[in-house]
Every structure is written in C-alpha cells, then in structure tokens.
Amino acid sequence: MRQEFIDAMRRVASSVTVVTTNGSYGRAGATVSAFSSLSADPPSVLVCLKTDSRIAQAVSENSVYCVNVLPEGADELAQRFAGQFDSKTPDRFENLSIWETEGNGPGLVGATVFACKLEKCVEHGSHTIFIGGVTQIFCASDRPLTYLNGAYHQVRPQSKPEEE
C-alpha cells in the first residue's frame, strides 16, 4: 500500500514552495510540496514538514515561517532548497535576492509569499502539520512552478469554449 500511495501522489500536481524561517533558532529554508490554504476567516495556511527535519525544528522553535510559492523558471532555486547543492553552497540563502518580512522570515524575490505566525502543530506519522495565521502577503505576478511525476512543469490555461 505504501508504494501504491507514493505512485498515486506522484500523479497529483502541486505548487513548488520554499518554506523559510528566521528567529532565535536561526535561519532555515527547505523545498516543500505539501502546502495548502486552510481558511480565509481568519487567513491561514498549512505546511507539512518531516518531523525530524531541520526546517521543522527551526519553524517550531522560531514560531514563524514564510511559504514562498516559486514562479515558473525557478527550478534551480527549488533544487537548492531541496539540498541538491548543499555540498557546494551550504548556506542555501547565499547570494540570493531576499527581503525580510515583518518578523516571519525571508521572502524570496519573485515568489508569492505568505508570512505566518505559527498557531498550531499536529503530528501525524512521519510529518508535522504546521498551521499558521497569515500576517503578511506579497503576490507575485508570475505563474507558479509546479511539480508532477518527478519533474517541474508550467501552468497553462486551457482554452475557453466558445460562447453560444
């Protein structure tokens, strides 16, 4: 059942996001695909992070995080925060264009950013769900980078049917 689940989830397209945090525990960031809106009243989102990961520990300790929805063409940035270049560039933020949100962590230039204050954590299996109240939003004009079946994709609208 585990492998069937993994195979099926590979067929579900998702936005490519980088979760960042900064605070007393330090600055950290990681590429994450499990991100969702939760509520508009009050504005809140959730991210799922592997419980024993450095990013989960940092978000938990700092009590703030940002979800950076990457734009099309940001494949290399996604790979950087997924750890693919850690041996060459251990500081994932090195030489990047970032801006500091109002106490929630680094926002990545070009991304749509949801800055959050941590409100609740729920552990389930190998992951922890981090629920955050959105305190600041920056909407980028670029289309989001998506991930499906092991590869990055671009979002393109379907043509609209002709009106009768």
Give the domain ranges of the chain.
Answer: 13-154
Close Cβ partners of 36 (under 8 Å, ≥ 6 residues apart): 45, 46
**What does each C-alpha distance from 39 to 42, 45, 134, 160 come to in angstroms?**
6, 7, 10, 29
**Amino acid identity at 41:** D
Q: Which CATH number fits domain 13-154: 3.50.50.60, 2.30.110.10, 3.40.140.80, 2.60.120.620?
A: 2.30.110.10
| pTM: predicted TM-score of the whole model, two decimal places | 0.89
16-29 per-position pLDDT tens digit: 999 999 999 999 99
Residue 96's φ and ψ, nearest 5 degrees, are: -100, 150
84-116 per-position pLDDT tens digit: 888 888 889 988 888 877 777 899 999 999 999
